[in-house]
Amino acid sequence: MTKDLTNGKPMGLILSFGIPLLFGYLFQQLYNVVDTAIVGKTLGGSALASVGATSSINFLVVGFCTGICSGFSIPVARAFGAKQNSELRRFVTCGAWLCILFGALLTAGTTTFCHDILQLMQTPDDIISRSHQYILTIFAGLPAYFLYNYCAGVLRSMGDSRTPVFFLILASLINIVLDVVFILAFHWDVFGAAFATVLAQFFAGCGCLIRMCRGFPILRMEVGDWKWDWSRAAHLCTMGLPMGLQYSITAIGSIMIQAAVNGLGTAYVTAVAAASKVFVFSACPFDAMGATMATYGGQNVGAQQWNRLHQGLRACVLLGAIYSACCLLVLYFLANPLNMLFLDAASAPLLPLARQYLLTGALFYFPLSLVNIIRFMIQGMGFSPLATFAGLLEMVARGVASFLVPLFGFTAACFASPAAWILADLFLIAAYFYCHRQLRASAASPILVRE
């Protein structure tokens, strides 16, 4: 089930590792897509807007969880690439302790202040109650997100990109069934949609955990492996916190845009909510490319295969360019039908707004692909702070755009993310070559890059 990315042709390895990841991301997004589709079709546009208004704060918190778990898995990938199985086990157990700690703190903080955050975001009064009900349930279930993301990250670090997908497929089916039961049978409104998502995520996490414990001999822990180690914890935090903050910093910019859109009225919130679901789904290949390059970079740094970093990057950028062009073509012709998956008949007049938002972003999908590919490669190489700075640049670009929305209207909101991607790319391209030079200079001591 494991895959060694330090030997073989990079293009073939990237495809064989990344395709299962792609299915995983698609099914993970299916959670939210099913929630949104059922909410929009059965509960109406107001309920859809209430869920959509939480998307940015959802990304802020859940993205931090995803990022920090991904960062914790980077030392695991390096140890796997270097064939240091004892070190690998100790990093896995130390990461588990940290996930328990961060999960408890994040759950307590977000459930306490989520209503205040929604008010700061200028969430319209007619939807804020439902928005709070939805996002409070998601935040209460954050331990389930930590469980899945950490276990899946460890499995991917060892080259197993299939197990997380398998359990996400099962979880997505459970999510669909629970959505129908909770919303249509129990009449639990948006709470039912959120609760179904949390339960499905918990199931996927338990499945990955069982597979880790029973399916991989190198993960059979000894008593000493569970001993707390401050130096390993510090190293994991050096990798994980910047990646978590990168997601959160990016999300802060998205929250600023969401707040600006909220100020335009419920109709614009609804249109953006529908288009955003199509966008997130269509952008899943970029997420898969990024996660693939994080593992690819981590394993090859561990094995000191410096030249393979360039080879893998070129191969993945080519894939990103091909997909970006194909996706733009598909969305140009199918934007309206896809947006209608999340809008009821009464909300059909909002289609021009949703189409404008979706196609504006699709025009800049190649810069988005570079953001994911290069940033995650840099993280896998061990330079998480530089990748975090790229997220800061994205936040600045979106923040500027949010101040322009009152002046230029909805069009400014549509161009906010493309501007953020381009600004981040300008930094990331230069940063990658800097990181590569640093690695080659420290080739005699690969541990140096972890400091």
CA dihedral 296, 297, 298, 302 (to 10 degrees): 100
User: Considering only 85-94, 139-148, 327-336, which range has the smallest mean pLDDT?
Assistant: 85-94
User: Considering only 64-73, 252-261, 271-280, which range has the smallest mean pLDDT?
Assistant: 252-261
pLDDT digits (tens, 9 = 90+) for 291-345: 899 889 988 888 888 889 999 999 999 999 999 999 999 999 999 999 988 787 7
pLDDT digits (tens, 9 = 90+) for 214-242: 888 888 888 778 888 899 999 899 888 88
Determine the pLDDT at residue 446: 43
| Residues in contact with 79: Cβ distance below 8 Å, sequence separation at least 6, in sequence order | 85, 87, 88, 91, 302
User: Could you tell me which residue, 59 or 113, shows the higher pLDDT?
Assistant: 113
Q: Are 151 and 209 in contact (CB under 8 A)?
A: yes
Mean pLDDT of 119-132: 85
* Cα–Cα distances in angstroms (integers) from residue 130 to residues 127, 141, 142, 286, 287, in the given order: 6, 17, 19, 31, 30
**pLDDT class of 31 with cuts at 50, 70, 90:** low
Q: CA nearest 292: which of 165, 143, 440, 420?
A: 165
DSSP string, 131-146: HHHHHHHHHHTHHHHH
State the residue for tokens 């049978």: 185
**pLDDT class of 63 with cuts at 50, 70, 90:** confident
Q: For a pLDDT cut of 90, what percent of the chain falls above it? A: 40
User: Could you tell me which residue, 14 or 445, shows the higher pLDDT?
Assistant: 14
- Cα three-residue angle 284-288-291, rounded to 5 degrees: 135
Q: Are 13 and 5 in contact (CB under 8 A)?
A: yes
Instruction: Report the C-alpha gap between 183 and 189 in whole angstroms.
Output: 5
User: Considering only 17-21, 39-43, 106-110, 156-160, which range has the smallest mean pLDDT?
Assistant: 39-43
Q: CA nearest 309: which of 216, 219, 395, 376?
A: 376
pLDDT digits (tens, 9 = 90+) for 276-292: 889 988 999 998 999 89
**pLDDT class of 421 with cuts at 50, 70, 90:** very high
Determine the pLDDT at residue 1: 55
Determine the pLDDT at residue 79: 86
State the residue for tokens 């001999």: 217
* Cα–Cα distances in angstroms (integers) from residue 35 to residues 183, 282, 389, in the given order: 10, 17, 33
Domain boundaries, the chain: 10-450
Instruction: Report the C-alpha gap between 340 and 326 in whole angstroms.
Output: 21
pLDDT digits (tens, 9 = 90+) for 151-180: 998 998 888 888 888 898 888 888 888 988
Instruction: Report the C-alpha gap between 323 and 370 in whole angstroms.
Output: 12
User: Considering only 94-108, 140-154, 246-260, which range has the smallest mean pLDDT?
Assistant: 246-260
> Looking at the predicted structure, is the pLDDT value of residue 447 above 50?
no
* Cα–Cα distances in angstroms (integers) from residue 341 to residues 44, 249, 275, 300, 338, in the given order: 12, 30, 10, 42, 5
Amino acid (1-letter code) at residue 245 = L
Determine the pLDDT at residue 205: 94
Determine the pLDDT at residue 449: 40
